[in-house]
A and B are shown apart, each in its own frame.
Chain A
Amino acid sequence: MSQSSTRRRNRWFAAGALGVAAAAFAVITAGGIGQNLVYYWGPTELHAAGDKAVGATIRLGGQVAPGSVVYKEGSTLEFDVSDGRSAVKVRSTGVPPQMFREGIGVVVEGTMTSAGQFECQRLMVSHGNEYRAPEKGATPDMRKLMETTQGLAPEASDRP
């Protein structure tokens, strides 16, 4: 009698411990995911998000606006990413990839500063001839752009 009640108590204890562990795991996971989301946005959506966009990791997709590329000292360069409706100023310090040029589709990963400039940590060029700059006023097809951008998976985690 007492043995079986001990066993039952043990079982309840085990179930309780598992429940607590599961809840803790859920909380940690939710927190971990919440803090590490990478949003895929175009310039218009980025502007619409306003201050909410500052600090979050964002993949900004669009076209390198013709005539906007300025090479600075070292490998630093600045350009505008445009979707035909609005544009975002981007500053990149890494060495640009081979195909980088004006008018090409790019995805830049980085963060928005409060000054309204996008600090790019990774600059990726869309490949394949599928990507065309969107018609005036149309939203760019972000999925298409992301899909045709090589090197989205690798992360330059060890960039200086």
Chain B
Amino acid sequence: MTAALGRTLILLALLVSAAGAVVAFAVGRRPTVAGARWAERFAYAFAALMVAANVVMVYALLTHDFSVSYVAQVGSRSLPTWVTIVSLWSSLEGSILFWGLVLGAYVAGATWATHERHPEYAPWAIGTWLACGTFFAFLIAGPAQPFVTVPNPPADGPGPNPLLQNHILMAIHPPFLYLGYVGMTIPFGLASAALLSGRLGPDFLRALRTWLLLPWTFLTVAIVLGGWWAYEVLGWGGYWAWDPVENASFLPWLTATAALHSALLMERKGTLKGWTVTLVMATFLLTILGTFMTRSGVFNSVHSFTQSSIGPTILVFLTAALVWSVATLALRVDRLSAPAGGFEPKSREAMFLVNNLLFVLFTFTVLIGTVFPLIVEATRGVQMSVGRPYFDRMAVPIGVALLFLMGVGPALPWGRATGAEARRVLLPPLFGAAVANLIGLALGVRHPWTLVTIALAGYTAQVTLVEMVRPLRQRMRAQGERLTQALEVQVRQGRRRLAGYVVHGAVVVIITAIAVSSTLGHSREVQMSRGDKVELAGYTLTFLGAEPVAEPHRQSMVARVAVERGGKSLGVLTPAMNYYPNQREPVGTPAVRSSWREDLYLSMVNVDPGRQTLGLHAIVKPMVAWIWGATAVLGIASLGGLLPPRRRREEHGTVAAPAGRPAALPTSR
């Protein structure tokens, strides 16, 4: 019954999205007001049907309706409620259904936001979005159908993959990832619409930037949350391993970041239109490629939870989207060529250009390393993977170069700078670089790449701070405002600019923390008996004992390890190993003691409660918590920058800056 209802909703969504796409494209060719209304209605209907289908699935999960195939596959009566809800995206069919929900929400939101302001290309955009919607509705209705009726429903189900029910982050990371991944459909649709309608003006740019920045923010946070999850669950003490599935999320992030920057240049100078649109389309294609890599089981990865037959279907869609992108770009190639004239080498524009080239280089590096094993296996039948040193060796210099540009770019003025001007802005931040390096040396950093990173981080941090403070100082000096007043105006009107620099600042912190935490630190593996003590980087760890703990959905072995430093007790850490009924092997839960200085990370490798022995992997890693903290700041600042700039309140009695140019300061009084 429930299964039939779900199937019906999905079939309706498929019909509505297909019909809506046809109508929207027809309206794009021959615009009519009534036709445009219909295209919008189809978009909202698609969203409503996807929401309804997901509600039906969550209801089936919560009521343990094992007559629904997906519930029979991942449900279990013994699960805590949060795990039951999270089960929605714990396996292939459910996660594609959830994709449909997120896509529906995005399509509805983007339709609502664009249909009035941009009537000339909204139908084309809606058509593209609904065409993508048609594909995903088809996936749910066919190859990944979660609503199959089970003729003889079992009394209970196995529950989801233990790795997924082991940590609360699995309730947060996937939704963010989907909000980032699926959201890239919207800029793809906007780019297609701009090309199809031939309108690549400033209106399009503003919409594109907003709808690119929103999913970009979610994707950024999602990637870090994924790393955090790996850190908290997998037990090897790291957060990034260049795993194919991690790369799948990183690749579109790289192109989207490049597109955000080139869109800024395009907005400012009217150049790089074709380039920006290409990057936006590449981002979408990479999300589909990433879905293929994650969901088709072609890779050996801790993350590829399912193998299924949807691989070929996704490949077909990927090919279609690629052909579509090339065709629409070719259609307007005449309007995309840049105006004559190059860039001055000592200008912000030039730095934007180099930044974009580096991001594309980075994308190719990661892409090649990721798909190389697939190509070799397909052509020579040899199984292999590309080792982590390849990625590290390539990524570190590119990352360092990008960090350098983050400092030099914003410091340089737009347009043409004389040598003296360039020196005036580029030399002072060397002070920040020197200070940062001295701090690093004093704290024991010796690794050459880390020292370079820290120096550049100091340089960039100084530039970023100066750029953040500059408008405040200008206001205070020119208009005699107090700091709080100037800050208020800046937050209200210069929001986008301010947000950009806060994001840059957060990225500087994240890169520094990654460099420091991956090159400094200590670790050791020991086999202990009860009462044994072990020393690591000033910590004394004492194994107090191990006990089994029973929970409804799992059995755990919990070890108690007392932590001391300098004769002072820091409490007891409890690394654990959890046994789930549907898996023979246990899943670990490392215990982490986090502080702003460093993390003490204890991972249980093996345990014998009978003999009271413990195999312990203990790691001390500096600065890890800075990554999580800075990412939170980045996410909040980035979302804040998306809010439209508000006009100044009347009682202040000034004329507000014209909307859309938030970086400009109001000068008239």
Residues of A within 8 A of B (CB): 10, 25, 28-29, 32-33, 35-40, 57, 59, 74-75, 94-100, 125, 127-129, 142-143, 146-147, 149-160
**How many Å lie between the Cα of A27 and that of B234 in the bound state?**
35
Q: Min CB distance, B184 to chain A, in Å? A: 24
Please state if A146 and B384 are interface contacts (CB–CB under 8 Å). no
**How many Å lie between the Cα of A142 and that of B307 in the bound state?**
16
Please state if B606 and A100 are interface contacts (CB–CB under 8 Å). yes
13 A-B contacts (beta carbon < 8 Å): A29-B364, A39-B383, A39-B384, A95-B606, A95-B617, A96-B606, A98-B586, A127-B585, A128-B585, A150-B302, A151-B302, A157-B238, A160-B525
Chain A residues with CB under 8 Å of B163's CB are: 150
- Specify which of B238, B307, B525 is in contact with A75 (CB 8 Å cutoff): B525
Can you add 17 more A-B contacts, CB < 8 Å, to A98-B586, A153-B303? A29-B364, A32-B390, A33-B369, A33-B390, A36-B387, A36-B390, A38-B385, A95-B615, A96-B605, A98-B577, A99-B584, A147-B297, A151-B234, A151-B236, A157-B238, A157-B518, A158-B523
Please state if B302 and A40 are interface contacts (CB–CB under 8 Å). no
Please state if A75 and B615 are interface contacts (CB–CB under 8 Å). yes
Please state if A32 and B302 are interface contacts (CB–CB under 8 Å). no
Q: Which has the most chain A C-beta neighbours within 10 Å: B234, B304, B388?
A: B388
Indicate if B607 sits at the interface (CB-CB under 8 A). yes
- Specify which of A59, A74, A125, A153 is in contact with B241 (CB 8 Å cutoff): A153
Please state if A146 and B521 are interface contacts (CB–CB under 8 Å). no
Indicate if B667 sits at the interface (CB-CB under 8 A). no
- Specify which of B386, B388, B390, B523 is in contact with A155 (CB 8 Å cutoff): B388
**How many Å lie between the Cα of A36 and that of B372 in the bound state?**
12
Please state if A94 and B525 are interface contacts (CB–CB under 8 Å). yes
Indicate if B172 sits at the interface (CB-CB under 8 A). no
Indicate if B610 sits at the interface (CB-CB under 8 A). no
Q: Min CB distance, A49 to chain B, in Å? A: 11
Q: Which has the most chain A C-beta neighbours within 10 Å: B243, B302, B521, B525?
A: B525
Indicate if B337 sits at the interface (CB-CB under 8 A). no
Q: Min CB distance, B356 to chain A, in Å? A: 13
Given A98-B577, A143-B300, A155-B238, do A36 and B607 touch, yes or no (CB 8 Å)?
A: no
**How many Å lie between the Cα of A109 and that of B525 in the bound state?**
17
Q: How large is the interface on B (under 10, 10 to 19, 20 to 34, 35 or more residues)?
A: 35 or more
Please state if A75 and B527 are interface contacts (CB–CB under 8 Å). yes
Indicate if B393 sits at the interface (CB-CB under 8 A). yes
**How many Å lie between the Cα of A29 and that of B398 in the bound state?**
13
Chain A residues with CB under 8 Å of B384's CB are: 37-40
Within 8 A of A (CB), among B562-597: 577, 583-586
- Specify which of A127, A154, A159 is in contact with B523 (CB 8 Å cutoff): A159
Indicate if B368 sits at the interface (CB-CB under 8 A). yes
Given A36-B389, A153-B301, do A95 and B619 touch, yes or no (CB 8 Å)?
A: no
Chain B residues with CB under 8 Å of A125's CB are: 585
- Specify which of A57, A74, A96 is in contact with B387 (CB 8 Å cutoff): A57
Chain B residues with CB under 8 Å of A29's CB are: 364-365, 368, 394
Chain B residues with CB under 8 Å of A100's CB are: 606
Closest to B604 in A: A98
Please state if B388 and A157 are interface contacts (CB–CB under 8 Å). yes
**How many Å lie between the Cα of A129 and that of B585 in the bound state?**
9
Chain B residues with CB under 8 Å of A28's CB are: 394
Given A94-B525, A128-B583, do A154 and B385 touch, yes or no (CB 8 Å)?
A: no
**How many Å lie between the Cα of A151 and that of B303 in the bound state?**
10
Closest to B587 in A: A150
B219-247 to A contact mask, C-beta < 8 Å, 1/0: 00000000000100011111001010010
Chain A residues with CB under 8 Å of B606's CB are: 95-98, 100
Chain A residues with CB under 8 Å of B619's CB are: 158
Please state if B607 and A156 are interface contacts (CB–CB under 8 Å). no
Given A39-B382, A150-B302, A160-B524, do A25 and B236 touch, yes or no (CB 8 Å)?
A: no
Q: Min CB distance, A131 to chain B, in Å? A: 10
Q: Which has the most chain A C-beta neighbours within 10 Å: B163, B303, B586?
A: B586
Chain B residues with CB under 8 Å of A25's CB are: 361, 364
Chain A residues with CB under 8 Å of B525's CB are: 75, 94-95, 159-160
Indicate if B616 sits at the interface (CB-CB under 8 A). yes
Indicate if B526 sits at the interface (CB-CB under 8 A). yes
Please state if B241 and A155 are interface contacts (CB–CB under 8 Å). yes
Q: Min CB distance, B100 to chain A, in Å? A: 27
**How many Å lie between the Cα of A128 and that of B161 in the bound state?**
11
Indicate if B342 sits at the interface (CB-CB under 8 A). yes
- Specify which of B297, B300, B365 is in contact with A152 (CB 8 Å cutoff): B300
Q: Min CB distance, B131 to chain A, in Å? A: 34
Please state if B241 and A143 are interface contacts (CB–CB under 8 Å). no
Q: Which has the most chain B C-beta neighbours within 10 Å: A35, A38, A100, A147?
A: A38
**How many Å lie between the Cα of A28 and that of B604 in the bound state?**
39
Please state if A33 and B302 are interface contacts (CB–CB under 8 Å). no
Closest to B394 in A: A32
Given A33-B386, A36-B387, do A95 and B394 touch, yes or no (CB 8 Å)?
A: no
Closest to B606 in A: A98
Q: Min CB distance, A160 to chain B, in Å? A: 5
B382-408 to A contact mask, C-beta < 8 Å, 1/0: 111111111001100000000000000
Q: Min CB distance, B190 to chain A, in Å? A: 29
Within 8 A of A (CB), among B352-375: 361, 364-365, 368-369, 372
Please give me the 9 A-B residue pairs with the lowest Cβ-Cβ distance, nearest first: A154-B236, A127-B585, A153-B243, A95-B615, A36-B390, A36-B387, A40-B383, A98-B606, A146-B300
- Specify which of A57, A127, A157 is in contact with B584 (CB 8 Å cutoff): A127
Q: Min CB distance, B170 to chain A, in Å? A: 16
Q: Min CB distance, A147 to chain B, in Å? A: 5
Q: Min CB distance, B579 to chain A, in Å? A: 10
Chain B residues with CB under 8 Å of A59's CB are: 385
Given A96-B605, A98-B605, do A37 and B585 touch, yes or no (CB 8 Å)?
A: no
**How many Å lie between the Cα of A60 and that of B622 in the bound state?**
33
Please state if B300 and A38 are interface contacts (CB–CB under 8 Å). no
Chain A residues with CB under 8 Å of B387's CB are: 36-38, 57
**How many Å lie between the Cα of A127 and that of B163 in the bound state?**
12
Closest to B372 in A: A33
Q: Min CB distance, A91 to chain B, in Å? A: 15
**How many Å lie between the Cα of A56 and that of B391 in the bound state?**
17
Chain B residues with CB under 8 Å of A151's CB are: 234-236, 302
**How many Å lie between the Cα of A150 and that of B305 in the bound state?**
11
Please state if B585 and A142 are interface contacts (CB–CB under 8 Å). no
Please state if B383 and A142 are interface contacts (CB–CB under 8 Å). yes
Given A29-B394, A36-B390, do A160 and B369 touch, yes or no (CB 8 Å)?
A: no
**How many Å lie between the Cα of A29 and that of B524 in the bound state?**
33
**How many Å lie between the Cα of A36 and that of B238 in the bound state?**
20
Please state if B368 and A33 are interface contacts (CB–CB under 8 Å). yes
Chain B residues with CB under 8 Å of A74's CB are: 527
Q: Min CB distance, A34 to chain B, in Å? A: 9
**How many Å lie between the Cα of A29 and that of B658 in the bound state?**
48
**How many Å lie between the Cα of A125 and that of B304 in the bound state?**
17
Chain A residues with CB under 8 Å of B583's CB are: 127-128
Chain A residues with CB under 8 Å of B301's CB are: 152-153
Please state if A158 and B237 are interface contacts (CB–CB under 8 Å). yes
- Specify which of B368, B524, B527, B585 is in contact with A98 (CB 8 Å cutoff): B585
Chain A residues with CB under 8 Å of B585's CB are: 98-99, 125, 127-128, 150
Q: Min CB distance, B654 to chain A, in Å? A: 46
Chain B residues with CB under 8 Å of A75's CB are: 525-527, 615
Within 8 A of A (CB), among B486-530: 518, 521, 523-527
Closest to B388 in A: A155
